[in-house]
Amino acid sequence: MPKASEQCACKGSRVKSGRPVQIVKSLTIPGAVVDSRSLNGGGMKSWIWLLALGCSTPAPEVPTPPPTPAVDVSKYTGIFQGPLPARWDRAGDPALEQKVQLGRILYYDPALSLNNDISCNSCHQLDRFGVDNQPTSPGHQGQRGDRNSPTVYNAAGHFVQFWDGRAVDVEAQAKGPILNPIEMAMPSEPEVIQRLSAKEEYKKLFADAFPGVSDPITYDNLAAAIGAFERRLSTPGRFDKFLGGDGAALTPEEVAGLDLFVSSGCVACHGGTLVGGTMYQKIGVVKPYETADLGRQKVTNAPADEKMFKVPSLRNISKTGPYFHDGSVATLDDAIRKMGEHQLGKTFTDAEVASIATFLGALDGEVDAAYIAKPAIP
């Protein structure tokens, strides 16, 4: 655990922590200043006590509180590296705007599904942090798979795609759902291409996105365009300001939750700028976890990969429930509790769960409304 002096993150300008300090100073009670600014609950008690005292005292003049030391952000940058990038360009391939625009249109186009009723956006809703908030999503004729739809925001930054990592990048990933019989259910790649080629608008859009290519409407190019669009679905937020060096970008309560997240060992798996998305780990490392899903073993057939899943990114996690690969965990609090128990062998108190949840709430970022605006569909 960090020392109390390191935890004390409040800035003089914060009203919440400033007020009791001011009363204390005017009453000149020694020691109480430190107490009321500490983050571990002691502050609250002195608050109440001082309020009671304050009632019988005429309102004193309020001096400006002294500046308090800012959080030393550098101790976190080793773990989380740095702020989110604005985009994850493919190596050596900064995409053309026309390719991104084509990807945006395809992402929203239900013509990529057999019954013309399901688009990528049906399950990964861009105005809902890239999810549908259901345990599993209805696809072709309402069928549901056995895995939860993860968010597409920041997905391009993960080391692999899908819960079991069976696609190497977002381009490879995009080829899957269109042909998946319970998702978009198109019978074959040629039928997808045939359908798109029948529309004049797509002929022009593909030609603009892939200039100089003689037959640009291909399944590979379709996936490349969707991938190019997804590579800019970044959601920077306050945590990025914090990682960028602004210690005041998080509240003292959020920093306390961050410290607990670090000291408990969550960062052994959920590290890096995405707070996850960098490795596979077993669900149930310390205490076995009940699930019928074999995870990565389905891909590799290796017994050692049983119940191994990609460690999910926790960016925007307060918005993307329900949780876990099967969507079986309804609340974030419960997900935190289960992680403590099964991954770390720790039983968190309610206060500890709440503290970590407060930090995780600070991982909410901003969606670029103009970037995700639904375009006209051909």
Summarize as ranges the residues that interact with ligand HEC (CB under 6 A). 118, 120, 122-124, 137, 139, 145, 147, 149-150, 152, 155, 158, 161-164, 170, 173-174, 177-178, 183-184, 226, 264-266, 268-270, 281, 283, 285, 309, 311-312, 314, 317, 320, 323-325, 335-336, 339-340, 343-344, 356
Residue 33 Cβ vs ligand HEC, minimum distance, rounded to whole Å: 33
From 171, 183, 253, 254, active-site residue: 183
Which residue's CB is nearer to ligand HEC, number 50 or number 332? 332
Residue 372 Cβ vs ligand HEC, minimum distance, rounded to whole Å: 13
Which residue's CB is nearer to ligand HEC, number 333 or number 368? 333
Residue 328 Cβ vs ligand HEC, minimum distance, rounded to whole Å: 9
Residue 314 Cβ vs ligand HEC, minimum distance, rounded to whole Å: 6
Residue 179 Cβ vs ligand HEC, minimum distance, rounded to whole Å: 10
Which residue's CB is nearer to ligand HEC, number 247 or number 265? 265
Which residue's CB is nearer to ligand HEC, number 50 or number 335? 335
3-state secondary structure the chain: CCCHHHHCCCCCCCHHHHHHHHHHHHHCCCCHHHHHHCCCCHHHHHHHHHHHHHHCCCCCCCCCCCCCCCCCCHHHHHHHCCCCCCCCCECCECCCHHHHHHHHHHHHCHHHCCCCCCCHHHHCCHHHCCCCCCCCCECHHHCECCCCCCCCCCHHHCCCECCCCCECCHHHHHHHHHHCCCCCCCCCHHHHHHHHHCCHHHHHHHHHHCCCCCCCCCHHHHHHHHHHHHCCCCCCEHHHHHHCCCHHHCCHHHHHHHHHHHHHCHHHCCCCCCCCCCCEEECCCCCCCCCCCCECHHHHCCHHHCCEEECCCCCCHHHCCCECCCCCECCHHHHHHHHHHHHHCCCCCHHHHHHHHHHHHCCCECCCHHHHCCCCCC
Which residue's CB is nearer to ligand HEC, number 35 or number 259? 259
Is 253 annotated as catalytic? Answer: no
Catalytically active residues, by annotation:
183
